[in-house]
Structures are given as structure tokens and as C-alpha cells.
């Protein structure tokens, strides 16, 4: 990997201890401001296989590692520790660009053993984060899929996806399973800015959704994550606004706090919403059987207990009222989803 030397000042460095290090060195004085560091990587293969029983998508493609969206709750943060970096600001400011992703994708799509299987783009980090505007790795991969009529499922918070609206419409025409999901956790733009500071505002994402819908691209909304005590009262409004923007499907995912994500999330909430922190922690534990996270397959995407059932009821009743064909997110199916059987894509 090659460091491009691009820098951008942002908040000060802060990373939870890396569990793969035998020792930990902290700053004696105030840590320095972080810099955006871009690393160019040539990979031997670009598709990763998932055998998770509750995902329903076998093949994933991630053009980037790390994400400048800086969402406090991002479950992908611990993956950065495999690169010998941190799950905090390192994840947000040390970004790996897989510059030969499209080339390696074409090599796979050319193989006789490949049978136009669905490819999930952005399973780990957002393929339409701002750097995509310069490197266009996602666009190149979509062009490769168009050449081979191979369907893709995209999940994004990035409004930059509108740049590829025509390309995605053409891909959907030749590979009808193609779909784009927009992750929208908040209806409140200001609250979103405090928890997911590098993302386009929810209102901007919903406008992007409408652009894709009008271009003929199937779109859906993912209310993820549901943070009980912070955004659970915004579910109905998100669904109503997504429906108005063209979404006819919706999924909902409970907050996940694996590994060091817990430290980053609780620190951010403590800074931005100090009076709500304990309430949020208590609500999470109530819905996680006394824990902050349950990694068990089939349970990690949803909560338990009476409070979670009330959230589910609100979600389902609103979807029914709007005519949205949706159910709670237990993604154990393969695409395309049937009306009674909705997975992630």
C-alpha cells in the first residue's frame, strides 16, 4: 500500500486499545489533530465470501477500507485493527483505496464457474463515501457488472450515488435483481450530524433516493441502527419520508456494538448527548438480555423483550399503513426477495 500524503485536519486522534497489541502507548499531552491519509492497495482478489447464516448474500465487494463518514456506531470499525490501526479516528482517517478492484472483479466475472450471483457492495464500508468522487472505484465496478449483466445490491449513506443513477438503471434493466438501499437512522438532520458527522444529511439522502427511484432504480430504506432512547421515536417519520421518495421496502436493524465499537459509540454519545447516555445504555441492556451486544446469529440484528416488541409494532404498523412490503430484518434469504420474505437485498 502506498501513502498518498493527502492531509486534512479534523478532531484529535482517539482510538480504543487494539486487542492485537501486547502493549498500549497513549499520548502524554493532548493528542494531535487527525489527518486524512489515503493508502492505495492492489489486491489479489476483490470479492469476499460470507457464510453467515443470517445475511443471505454470499459475495461482498468493498472498494474501500475505512470510512470518512465517521459513524460512531459503525460495526466495521474493528476490521481496521487487522491492519494494525485503531478502531477510532484511524478508521475514519486512514482509508485504503483498492485501485485495481474493477480489474479483479472482471477476472472473476469472466470465469466459467461464475453464474451471475448477486454481489453486495458496501458490506463493510460505504462505497459512496466522498473519496469515490475522485477515485471512482465503485463506478468502475458497476461498469464491469453491466458488461456481464451481473446484479448488485448496494447499501449506502452517500448522496454521490446519484452520479451513477443512469448506470444503475441500465444495470437494473439487464440484471433486474439490482437494487440500492439507503441507510437512514435519523429523521433529524442535526442529531444525525452529531452521531454520523461525515455523512450527507438524512434529507439529502432521501432526495438522492428519489432521484434513483425516478431513474428506474429499485430503492429501499434501512433504518439502521435503531438506538433505543435516541432515535426510536423517529422510525415512523423516516418510513413516511422514504415512501414519499420512492421506497416500497424497508428493513430495521438494532444497534450492534461489537468489540471496540462500544467504546467509540459510548464516548461519542457521552460527548453529544450526556443526559441521554445512561438511558440509552439501560435500554440497550433491556433489549439485549442484560448485555450491550449479542453476537449470536439470528439475534444480533434485533432486540428482545417488551420494549423491542413495541418498536417492532410501530415499524410494522407504519409499513402496513404506507403499503410498504416489509418485515423486521432477519436476512436469511437470497435475492430477489418475495413479498413475504424480505432479506437485506
pLDDT for 230 equals 98
pLDDT for 26 equals 56
Is residue 145 one of the residues assigned to a domain? yes
- Which of 103-112, 152-161, 307-316, 327-336 is the least confident region? 327-336
pLDDT of residue 30 exceeding 70, the answer is no
Q: pLDDT over 90 for what percent of the chain?
A: 76
pLDDT of residue 122 exceeding 80, the answer is yes
Beta-carbon contacts of residue 339 (< 8 Å; ≥ 6 apart): 325
Alpha-carbon span 231 to 194, nearest angstrom: 12
- Predicted confidence band of residue 332 (pLDDT cuts 50, 70, 90): very low
Is residue 168 one of the residues assigned to a domain? yes
Cα-based angle 149, 55, 145 (whole degrees, multiple of 5): 15
Is residue 329 one of the residues assigned to a domain? no
Which value, in Å, is the radius of gyration of the alpha carbons in the chain?
20
pLDDT for 12 equals 64
Strands 64-65 vs 94-98: parallel, antiparallel or unpaired? antiparallel
Pinpoint the alpha helices (H) of 175-222: 189-195, 202-215
pLDDT for 51 equals 74
Whether the CB-CB separation of 308 and 233 falls below 8 Å is answered with no
Pinpoint the alpha helices (H) of 136-201: 137-147, 165-174, 189-195
Alpha-carbon span 258 to 66, nearest angstrom: 16
Mean residue pLDDT of the chain comes to: 88
Whether the CB-CB separation of 217 and 172 falls below 8 Å is answered with yes
Is residue 117 one of the residues assigned to a domain? yes
- Structural domain tally of the chain? 1
Alpha-carbon span 245 to 205, nearest angstrom: 10
Is residue 342 one of the residues assigned to a domain? no
pLDDT of residue 6 exceeding 60, the answer is no
Which CATH number fits the domain that encloses residue 173? 3.80.30.30
The residue length of the chain stands at 345
Mean pLDDT for the stretch of residues 269-297: 94
- Predicted confidence band of residue 292 (pLDDT cuts 50, 70, 90): very high
pLDDT of residue 142 exceeding 50, the answer is yes
Helix, strand, or coil (residue 6): coil
Which pTM does this prediction carry? Answer: 0.86
Let me know if 205 is exposed, middle or buried by CB neighbors in 10 A (0-12, 13-18, 19+).
buried
Alpha-carbon span 319 to 301, nearest angstrom: 19
Beta-carbon contacts of residue 324 (< 8 Å; ≥ 6 apart): 239, 243, 247, 248, 249, 250, 318
Mean pLDDT for the stretch of residues 286-293: 93
Q: Which domain holds residue 293?
A: 2-13+31-322
Strand 179-183: give its sheet, edge to edge: 47-49, 59-61, 119-121, 152-156, 179-183, 219-226, 250-254
pLDDT for 34 equals 73
**In this structure, what C-alpha cell is assigned to residue 20?**
492485537
Strands (E), 118-275: 119-121, 152-156, 179-183, 219-226, 250-254
- Predicted confidence band of residue 22 (pLDDT cuts 50, 70, 90): low
pLDDT for 159 equals 96
**DSSP tag of 32:** P
Is residue 340 one of the residues assigned to a domain? no
Nearest to 184 by CA among 194, 169, 199: 199
Whether the CB-CB separation of 300 and 257 falls below 8 Å is answered with no
Is residue 343 one of the residues assigned to a domain? no
Alpha-carbon span 215 to 125, nearest angstrom: 25
- Predicted confidence band of residue 50 (pLDDT cuts 50, 70, 90): confident
pLDDT of residue 191 exceeding 50, the answer is yes
Beta-carbon contacts of residue 119 (< 8 Å; ≥ 6 apart): 47, 59, 60, 61, 145, 150, 151, 152, 153
- Which of 20-29, 111-120, 221-230, 317-326 is the least confident region? 20-29
- Predicted confidence band of residue 32 (pLDDT cuts 50, 70, 90): low
pLDDT for 29 equals 53
Q: pLDDT over 70 for what percent of the chain?
A: 84
- Which of 7-11, 25-29, 69-73, 260-264 is the least confident region? 7-11
Is residue 116 one of the residues assigned to a domain? yes
Amino acid at each position: 500500500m502506498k501513502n498518498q500524503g493527502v492531509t486534512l485536519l479534523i478532531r484529535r486522534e482517539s482510538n480504543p486499545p487494539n486487542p492485537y497489541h501486547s502493549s498500549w502507548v497513549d499520548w502524554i499531552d493532548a493528542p494531535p489533530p487527525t489527518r486524512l491519509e489515503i493508502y492505495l492497495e492492489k489486491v489479489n482478489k476483490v470479492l469476499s465470501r460470507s457464510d453467515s447464516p443470517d445475511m443471505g448474500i454470499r459475495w461482498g465487494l468493498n472498494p474501500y477500507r475505512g470510512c470518512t463518514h465517521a459513524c460512531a456506531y459503525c460495526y466495521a470499525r474493528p476490521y481496521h485493527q487487522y491492519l494494525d490501526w485503531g478502531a477510532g479516528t484511524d478508521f475514519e482517517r486512514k482509508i485504503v483505496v483498492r485501485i485495481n478492484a474493477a480489474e479483479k472483479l472482471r477476472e472473476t466475472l469472466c470465469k466459467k464457474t461464475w453464474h451471475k450471483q448477486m454481489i453486495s457492495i458496501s458490506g463493510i464500508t460505504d462505497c459512496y463515501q466522498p473519496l469515490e468522487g475522485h477515485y471512482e472505484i465503485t463506478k468502475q465496478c458497476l461498469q464491469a457488472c453491466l458488461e456481464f449483466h451481473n446484479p448488485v445490491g448496494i447499501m449506502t449513506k452517500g448522496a454521490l450515488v446519484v452520479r451513477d443513477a443512469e448506470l444503475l438503471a441500465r444495470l437494473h434493466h439487464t440484471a433486474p435483481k439490482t437494487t440500492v438501499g439507503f441507510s437512514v437512522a435519523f429523521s433529524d438532520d442535526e442529531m444525525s450530524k452529531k452521531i454520523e458527522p461525515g455523512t450527507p444529511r438524512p434529507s439529502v439522502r432521501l432526495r438522492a433516493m428519489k432521484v434513483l427511484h425516478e431513474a428506474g432504480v429499485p430503492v429501499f430504506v434501512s433504518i439502521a441502527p435503531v438506538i433505543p432512547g435516541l432515535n426510536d421515536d423517529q422510525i415512523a417519520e423516516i418510513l413516511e419520508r422514504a415512501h414519499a421518495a420512492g421506497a416500497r421496502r424497508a428493513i430495521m436493524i438494532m444497534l450492534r456494538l461489537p468489540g471496540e465499537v462500544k467504546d467509540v459509540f459510548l464516548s461519542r454519545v457521552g460527548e453529544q448527548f450526556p443526559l441521554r447516555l445512561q438511558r440509552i445504555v439501560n435500554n440497550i441492556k433491556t433489549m439485549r438480555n442484560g448485555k450491550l451486544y449479542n453476537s449470536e446469529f439470528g439475534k444480533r440484528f434485533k432486540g428482545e423483550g417488551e420494549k423491542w416488541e413495541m418498536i417492532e409494532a410501530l415499524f410494522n404498523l407504519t409499513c402496513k399503513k404506507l403499503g410498504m412490503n416489509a418485515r423486521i430484518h432477519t436476512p436469511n434469504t437470497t435475492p430477489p426477495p418475495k413479498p413475504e420474505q424480505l432479506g437485506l437485498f
